[in-house]
């Protein structure tokens, strides 16, 4: 009986030591954050993609109606002009 208790106690001790050792391993380092330039490029790509998707969706809805297609093109051109003006204004802003 004493040997059985000693065996159970030694197994519990072994599992405890293994768990303690596993808990001490360092967590992997997080990925480095993208730089501001990369973020700006990603945002611009997303905005361009969104604009292209909206244009494609509008053209699909327009079907064969030339007036609706012209309206879609006009809206896309106005949005592109507005986005360019906004980007230019943002670049001209003084940096802190």
**Cα dist. 17→7, 51, 59 in Å?**
15, 58, 67
Q: Which pLDDT does position 69 carry in this prediction?
A: 80
Q: Is the pLDDT of residue 73 over 70?
A: yes
**Coil, strand or helix: which one is 43?**
helix
The predicted-structure confidence for 51-71, as pLDDT tens digits, reads as follows 777 777 777 877 888 888 888
Q: Which pLDDT does position 47 carry in this prediction?
A: 66
pLDDT-based confidence at 78, cuts 50/70/90? Answer: confident
Q: Which pLDDT does position 72 carry in this prediction?
A: 81
- pTM listed for this prediction: 0.40
């Amino acid at each position: 009986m004493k040997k059985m208790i000693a065996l159970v106690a030694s197994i519990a001790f072994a599992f405890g030591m293994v768990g303690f050792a596993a808990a001490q391993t360092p967590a992997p380092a997080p990925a480095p954050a993208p730089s501001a330039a990369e973020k700006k490029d990603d945002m611009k790509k997303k905005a361009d993609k969104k604009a292209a998707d909206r244009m494609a969706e509008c053209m699909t809805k327009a079907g064969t109606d030339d007036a609706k297609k012209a309206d879609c093109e006009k809206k896309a051109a106005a949005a592109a002009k507005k986005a360019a003006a906004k980007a230019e204004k943002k670049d001209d802003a003084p940096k802190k």
